[in-house]
Structure formats: C-alpha cells, structure tokens
Structure 1
C-alpha cells in the first residue's frame, strides 16, 4: 500500500515540481495539498497557475486545496513535503511536527539547527538518525528533515567524492538559473542580456550547509567538516540548471585524472529517485552545460567536467537541475530515505 502524502505550499514552483514527481511514484499517494488562504477551498486546478513542463495530473487537479494548518490535513497522511517560503515554514513546520507529521522540507529555515538533519542521501544518509535526538529534545511524535539549498546540492557530491584526500579550502562561483528565484523572482527586464553578481543570502548557504553535510554524526552529536568554503553567487539568464565553477585544495596531492575517477565511481544509493550513476564526468572541456546536461538521470544526477590541475590544487565545473535535484527531487528522495529507514 502506498504511503499517503501531502504537499505544503503546493501551488508554487517547487510545489508543482513535487506534484509532477509524486503523482506517478509507486510508493507515495498524494492525499492532501495546502496553500495560502487565498487558494484554500479551491480545486488545485483552480488554485495553481500550472507551469511545469507536463500536464497537470488529472487525479490531482480536482483535489480541494486546504489551508496550511495541521488541523486541515487528514490524520492518515504519513508524510508531508514542504516547499513553503522560509518565513512561513519557520512557524508552520514545527507545528506540523508537534501534531505528529513527518516533514521532508525544501525550505531554508532550520537547515542549520543542531538537531535537524540536513541530508543528501547519497552523501550523508547516516545523518538521518539525528531525528532520534530531535524527537527526544523536542518531544515531537513527528519529525523534520531538510534537503540543502539548490546551489549547495550541486557541488557537495563532487566534494564528497574527494574527502579522503583531505579537503582544506574550497572556492565556488555559481551561475544560477532564474527558476531558482521562483516564477516571480527575477523580472525579464532584469535578467535578459544581463547577469546579476549577487543573490541575497545564497553565499552563506553554500559556505555553511556544505560543512554540515560533510560532517560526522556520532549517534548523539553532529560535528561539521573543517573545510573552509567561500562562495560567489551569480544569476544568469538560463531557465533551469545551476552551473558552478569550483576550486579545491586538498591535503594530499590529487591529479585531475584521479579526481575524475573518484567522482565517476562515487556510489549512488538504492532508492527509487537516486540515479544509477550519481556523478557524470565529461572529458570535453566545455561540458557540462545547462541546456545539454541538466536532465541527466531524470534531472537527479550531477554533472562534472573541465577538471584540471592548478598551482594550488584542482579546478572543475559542475551542474545540477536546480528544481529537480536541487529542490523537489531532493525532498522526494529524502522521503524515500525516511520510508526505507522506518521513520514513517
């Protein structure tokens, strides 16, 4: 029997991607959709301005949207996927957890909280057991797990493949697609024929979330990786796919050829939404490219290329689909991990 799930913030860009991914999922059944008070009481077809590149699912279109309130969601829903704005999620998500719901959230609030697991299943699945600490400390019957920022999730798997060489310093410059800002986030007059060399708050997310993801959990406490990460974030006029330029210094000598080998061999995980090969490594110096490579592994793979040695270490480029691997798909994958590990 499929697990009954709901989507919080179902009408937004990530909410729509969640529905696109969840509707055909054999392990999950969409049973509840929530949105703002303006949308509550309408059918999903009426409430959502559907913009995803596939038709709105017929069995979802007629679901009545409810307010984003624990009292409005059926008790038999076992898992909630949250794509709420962080300002809303900060208050609402804990309320759902207190009410007994398990929440897999893409929202940025609480990602760095000591007792909230921030998870990329292929990288740090063991961090999910931090939920035992969370439930003990907060007295929740429910639980809250987060996936990282869409730009963080792009380069961290490539770093994870190199950790045995001792990560010392990482510099990353992002070239981020406009979909990462939401449908109304960047106007056409701002971005066409332009690039914007600042995305508010984004640099800090890459610099802090990466260290938490690469940290160690001893069963009681999570220690962050000591690597120094600095980031510069730029918005460019591509629709989907965050491209990133990465410079890495390691304690041990690491050739470009060996780094490519380690990335290509980095293991995936046996969950439905994880790709067979997590990191695709290109030999061509002009790859990866957003338009050509963002849909690798149904949008859940990471692409890397342009690996070369520098006087101080290594430089390469990487890419991931920001609304699939970097957002909705990441939340669904965490939901699969929750199910696999008996948290539902």
Structure 2
C-alpha cells in the first residue's frame, strides 16, 4: 500500500491522543498535521496533557498544533476527526468540500442519509454511500463516520448472531467507562463510589446507530434494521472499557453452544485483507464464569484493544433466547482504532486517492 498522509482534527483530546499513539508506527498512514482550536500555535507536547500509559511518541512532541482549516492540511488526503460534535458539524464538511477524505468520530453527521456509519467487520458494503454522497453534495472529498463507542462492540456481536440466526429483539444494559465522557470527564465527586444510571442522549444514539449499521445498503441509501431494541446506559467508575449485557431473542431455537460457535468463528473483510489494525480474531470468547472484565480484557487481541471479548453465554427465557456479556475498549475499538481501520478499508477498496 502506498503512503497516505493524514491530518488529525482534535489532536489534543483523549481520543486524539489515541490516534497519535496508534499512528506512530503505522506501516503506511503518516500523520503529518495535528490540528486544534485553543491549542493552535503550541508545540504538541505543550498543548496536550498526555493521558495514556505509553509515552508520547517523540516524533510528534515538537510538532506545532495548527488551526483546523483545510488550507493547513495541504499535502494530505486523509483527515481523521476527533472533534466535539458541535465543532464537527461545520468543520468536517468544509474539509470534504476541499477534497479531503474525512473519517470522523463525531456524532454530528452519523445519521445523515448519505454518510456511511462504519464498523469495518460489520458493514463494509455501506462505504458505497461515499459515491452517492459525492454526487449529491458535489464535492471531491468524502465524509465517513464511526459509531458511538457503545455501539461498536454491540454491533460486532449482533452481526454474527444475525447472520447465523434470525434476530428479533435485543435488550442491552451498558456499564460505560468514564473515559467515554472525554477529559476531564465526569467530576470525581459524582462518580466515586457511584453508578450514574443516565448518559444524555446515549440510549437513543445506541438504538438508532445500531439499526443503521445493521441495515441494508441498496441504490445509494440504507434501510435500517427492524430489530427491536431496548437500551439502558450507565456510567461506572472504570477508566477504560465498556461492559455490556445483551439479552437476544430469535425467531428459532438457539443454544449457547451454537451462539458461541457463531461468535468465535466470526471474521470480516478486514481479517480477510489482513489490514494492519485488524485483529486476527475480532471476537474472543472466554469460557471462565467471571469474564470479561475491563481490567483484564480491555486490551485483548493481536492488535491490543481491537478485539471484542464475550463471555457468560447462556440460555435466556425459553429456547429462543440467549444472554451474554461483552466488553470493548471504548477509546481504541470504540473510537480511534475503528476509524483507522475504516481508513485502511477505504484505501484497500479504492475510496482514497481519487
């Protein structure tokens, strides 16, 4: 694969730092420009409070943070966005209009009819919306998005179950890490020794985005899945790793062993193509009675943090339902990692470099 030069919007935030960390030694994506708002003009090491346990890659420490303007991305073709949704609403289309291929974390455009919302193993065919988008909006670039961090792991589990069986209903309860709220995040006096049973707009996002991702692409549009869903989202005092319980109901009888086989054997297009950020096993099934756990399993996978870990697969009410627990790293698989993998998939399918 040829070298792809990239810019990063929102480089100093918690998710922006994940991009910097993960792209430091990428085989062909070269992160050339770091962009921000109030931090513009500063050296990256001075502009960011580095939050990750790994060191800030030396090659980025002295880079100047630039204002988030298309002219400052000259020479790049790929733009990653870790902007807050409000800022992303106007800034991301400006980059696409200027000819850049934008892959965004922000929620601002996820539900736009002509914007693909991608989990690479689940719905790679939805990238065909890029062609529709370019025609409708008359811009040379493109805008692709990745989902809410709670949705990514959930969609990866629902996909193989829905492919093998006929899914009718999904009831989900999330226990979401505090890093999902960004930095500085939830005040310590609110979250210490506490669980907060409400995250603004989260439950609606999880339902709508899941249905779009699991929907069918046809003739330049997405027909959302008709899966019945009930979602409850909670913030818990864990730094990284979103844990979710899933009760899935099917049209036909499904045994725990059949569900286990469907999940553990699942692979997607990124695995077939051996993309650099694709884990060998996108879903790892644990047999222990008390796994997955955020502390033990959030960095699972051949690419650390990119595998979804599933456990406690057991029967539900009657023969047509199962229950399970799943875990995904919310700032890796649920954010920067999926966006990087999406860009690799786009490059492999010819959506970049046009």
Determine if the TM-score, normalized by the shorter chain, exceeds 0.5. yes
Structure 2 counterpart of 1:231? 231
Give how far 1:193 is off: 0.6
Q: 1:172 & 1:6 partners in 2: Cα distance?
A: 36
How far has the Cα of 1:8 moved from its partner?
Answer: 0.2
How far apart, in 2, do the equivalents of 1:150 and 1:274 lie? 17
1:219: Cα distance to partner?
3.8
Write the distance in 2 (CA, Å) between the matches of 1:53 and 1:341. Answer: 34
The match for 1:33 is 34
Q: How does 1:71-150 map to 2 (within 5 A)?
A: 71-74=71-74, 76-150=75-149
Q: What is the CA–CA distance in structure 2 between the aligned matches of 1:156 and 1:252, rounded to whole Å?
A: 20
Partner SS for 1:6 = strand
TM-score, scaled relative to structure 2: 0.95
Q: Which residue of 1 aligns with 2:340?
A: 332
Q: Which residue of 2 aligns with 1:20?
A: 21
Determine the C-alpha separation between the residues in 1 that align with 2:107 and 2:118: 13
CA distance in 1, matches of 2:27, 2:287: 36
Unaligned runs of 5+ in 1: none
Q: Secondary structure at the match of 2:232?
A: strand
1:81 deviates by: 0.5
Is 2:281 aligned against 1:277?
A: yes
**Residue deviations 1:7-51 (CA, integer Å, cap 9, x gap):** 000000000000000111011111111001x21111111111111
Q: Secondary structure at the match of 1:122?
A: coil
Give 2:317's match in structure 1, choosing from 311, 322, 334: 311
Deviation at 1:221, TM superposition (A): 2.0
For residue 220 of structure 1, report the CA deviation from its aligned partner: 2.3
Q: 94-103 vs 268-277, which deviates more?
A: 268-277
Distance (Å, rounded) in 1 between the aligned partners of 2:176 and 2:296: 15
CA distance in 2, matches of 1:23, 1:339: 19
List runs of 5+ in structure 2 lacking aligned partners: none
- Which residue number in structure 2 is paired with residue 292 of structure 1? 296
The equivalent of 1:341 in structure 2 is: 349
Q: Which residue does 1:9 correspond to in 2? A: 10
Q: Verify the 8 A CA contact 1:212 1:225 in the aligned structure 2.
A: yes
SS of equivalent residue, structure 1 residue 169: strand
> Secondary structure of the equivalent of 2:122?
helix
In structure 2, the residue matched to 1:65 is 65
What's the offset of the Cα at 1:206?
Answer: 1.0
- Calculate the aligned-residue CA RMSD, in Å: 1.0
